[in-house]
Structure 1
Amino acid sequence: MSIFSTILNKIFPHDHPANTTSASTTAPAATAASAPGSTTVPAGTPSTPPTVSAQTSQPSVAPMPAVDVEAVLTKLQEGSGQQLNWRTSIVDLLKLLGLDSSLDARKQLAAELHYSGSTEDSAAMNVWLHREVMQKLAANGGKVPDELK
């Protein structure tokens, strides 16, 4: 499991869509053609535009439930008994989640998240990692305050 997947698992409920590994959230085109109520037109028959909106034939995707990332991390902080600055430090964020915060682990996380800078400049990498993790948490259904992104 990737480090970022582990971060998601620590913050999001286990039944949250960001943590589930379903095959796909969209139906394949073949499924739509064989759906009940659809008709097959024989080859060579001129097709006419359907009278039913294409939107009604597509499966509806439920909105991803939002998870208040700040509240989850604050609660973890309160229960940890440690003074960790998870709001700005990727090292402290990883420690709060009970994950490896070593330089090697952070370099691995940087590779997972496609960091293009030098991993030898750990200060710059750490700042980028924290911001990128927060943005990715937001992209996966996390409610993250703007000042943390």
Structure 2
Amino acid sequence: MGLFSKILNSLGFGSKAHAEEAIPSGTPTTAPPAPAGTGQVDVVGKLEGLAARHPEKLNWKASIVDLLKLLDLDSSLQARKELASELGCPPEKMGDSAQMNMWLHKTVLQKLAENGGNVPPELLH
């Protein structure tokens, strides 16, 4: 199971855990908002709930490391590189951990939205 599938499972996406494999490359990365009541996962609500109970103050809205820590997943550089490869990070960003982290944070949130997560537009920057 890839790290992105673990992220989906941690947030309660359930059977949608493999939905990212069905997204063809070149698909727009922003998802239109689904109508209320369609069973969307409240990504922000779940993450804010976890953050409220977490002993560390984590800035999951801006940091992929903090987002992974909040979900109790491996946030090491190696794990982030694997996640970046899994999600198709451009090679020029892979060599610079800061650029890779920014790309990764944005892409993870976009992929969560594509898979049925309710992610507000301001987090999809």
Give the TM-score, by structure 2 length. 0.79
Look up the SS of the partner of 1:138 in the other structure. Answer: helix
Residue 82 of structure 2 corresponds to which residue in structure 1?
Answer: 108
* Partners of 1:8 and 1:19 within 8 A in 2: yes
Q: Structure 1 residues 91, 67: closer, same or farther in 2, change over 3 A? A: same
Q: 2:47 aligns with which of 70, 73, 98?
A: 73
Whole-Å separation in 1 of the counterparts to 2:107 and 2:7: 12
Q: 1:145 aligns with which of 117, 120, 125?
A: 120
Q: CA deviation at 1:13?
A: 4.6
Look up the SS of the partner of 1:86 in the other structure. Answer: coil
Larger radius of gyration: 1
Whole-Å separation in 2 of the counterparts to 1:20 and 1:105: 19
Residue 127 of structure 1 corresponds to which residue in structure 2?
Answer: 102
Q: For 1:7-46, what aligned pairs fall within 5 Å after superposition?
A: 7-14=7-14, 17-19=15-17
Moved beyond 6 Å, runs of 4+: none
Aligned residues: 107
Residue 25 of structure 2 corresponds to which residue in structure 1?
Answer: none
Percent identity over paired residues: 51
**Residue 97 of structure 2 is aligned to residue 99 of structure 1:** no
The structure carrying a bigger helix percent of its residues is 2
Q: Structure 1 residues 20, 122: closer, same or farther in 2, change over 3 A? A: closer
* Partners of 2:109 and 2:119 within 8 A in 1: yes
Between 1 and 2, higher relative CO (CA 8 Å, sep ≥ 6) is seen in 2
Question: Which residues of structure 1 form unaligned runs of 5+?
Answer: 25-62
Question: Which residues of structure 2 form unaligned runs of 5+?
Answer: 23-36
Root mean square deviation of aligned Cα:
2.0
Q: Structure 1 residues 101, 20: closer, same or farther in 2, change over 3 A? A: closer
* Partners of 2:5 and 2:18 within 8 A in 1: no
